[in-house]
Structure 1
Amino acid sequence: MTRTSFPEIAPVRRETVQSRIHQELRTMLMAGHFQPGQALKINDLAAAFGTSAQPIRESIRQLVAERALDATANRSARIPRLGPEQLDDLRRTRLALEGLAAELATERATEDGIAALSRIVDEELRADDKRDIGTSVAHNLNFHFTMYRMSGSEIIPPIIEGLWLRVGPHVRTAAEIFDAREGRGAELHVRSIEAMRKGDGPGTRAAIETDINRFFDLIRDMAPTED
């Protein structure tokens, strides 16, 4: 038997249109670009992305599988409305995983990493004082995931992403009902950085957990009542 090999051929990696759209929609969901209950129509998204319906349809199918979207009868989708029990479940899970990630990040924190977090918070504060909610929400997302990537875990950040896919559409709602000016919006981010500088893992965790609890407290009363 002759064994054939192709040592000169390297694996080919090509990002498809569909994968780019899927990633962009994921980011938009986590950053609160869509509202709870909002319908996402394939034709509208295809026009916005400047593509055919097929990659949009496949991206929606994946996001439905990730439980980030609810499928509708016409093969489009809708942003889920989360009820009180779902929100409580997400709160518990976020507290456990993001609190752990914050502690691990403190253990591995470098001066450069802390400086990067501080720059994000500075931008967040400027956006808050201008009541630029969209920019503020984007910086909030960047802050949390920059910190969680510092944890060194390959497992935790992707799981947290899945949680944010579900709560992201409610982040914008929380930001709109909370006056974040004069440092109020980022105060817990500032507190977490101060704890991180001291190497105080539990302190960093406590600040992040308080931040998470404030978010859920803001939106829980607005959640639809479950039958």
Structure 2
Amino acid sequence: MKHIDFHLDFISPYAHLAFEHLPEALEGLSYSVAYKPVLLGALLKQHGQLGPAEIPSKRSWTYRHVLWLGHTHGIEIQMPASHPYNPLPHLRLAVSTGDDGSISRLAAETIFRHVWRGGEDAGDAARLAALAAQLKPKRDANSDESKALLKRNTDEALQQGVFGTPSYVVDGRLFWGFDGLQMLRAYLKGDAWFDGPQWASADQRPALLRGSKPA
């Protein structure tokens, strides 16, 4: 049985889609999953990236794209009343429901659907309070322990090479994005392609350094 670390941030619509689609995408395979909340903003900052919502034209495309993907895959999704929003309360609440930074599928589902179903304000204080009452966390979401668990998850994700969410790490191999689920399935099924040169050497070539000019 293969083990998957599923790195997620509830602010990501692609993470919501991947979470909902995972059982169907990997149907018939033997695997275990650890759902690990991470702070996407910290990943982006570490890698010097802007989030999709920080680029106006990409923001427009992203929102249309995720609604289309939900439509074509039969996954319920509505844009929250405002986006992006501050995901820290949801992330800290999530890790406060567990002991080691991983959370149950039920907890992840509850928070994802709080954000991505109904079209309401994800950060509304009353809704957050109701969400916390529903989840019954083991500790205060704003406790030092909850903050430390979220930071540890994010640091560990960075060490694994994670640069965005959703990401899936299996056997030290990184798969990314909603459309990465098909590739993940092939790996879990033992596709020999992953033992060949196309995986191993695809990135083993020089890159044009930013700011340099071709000769």
| TM bucket, shorter chain | under 0.3
Q: Between Structure 1 and Structure 2, which shows a larger proportion of helix residues?
A: 1
Give TM-score scaled by structure 1 length: 0.23
> Between Structure 1 and Structure 2, whose CA radius of gyration is higher?
1
Instruction: Using structure 2 for the length normalisation, give the TM-score.
Output: 0.24
Q: Which is richer in strand?
A: 2
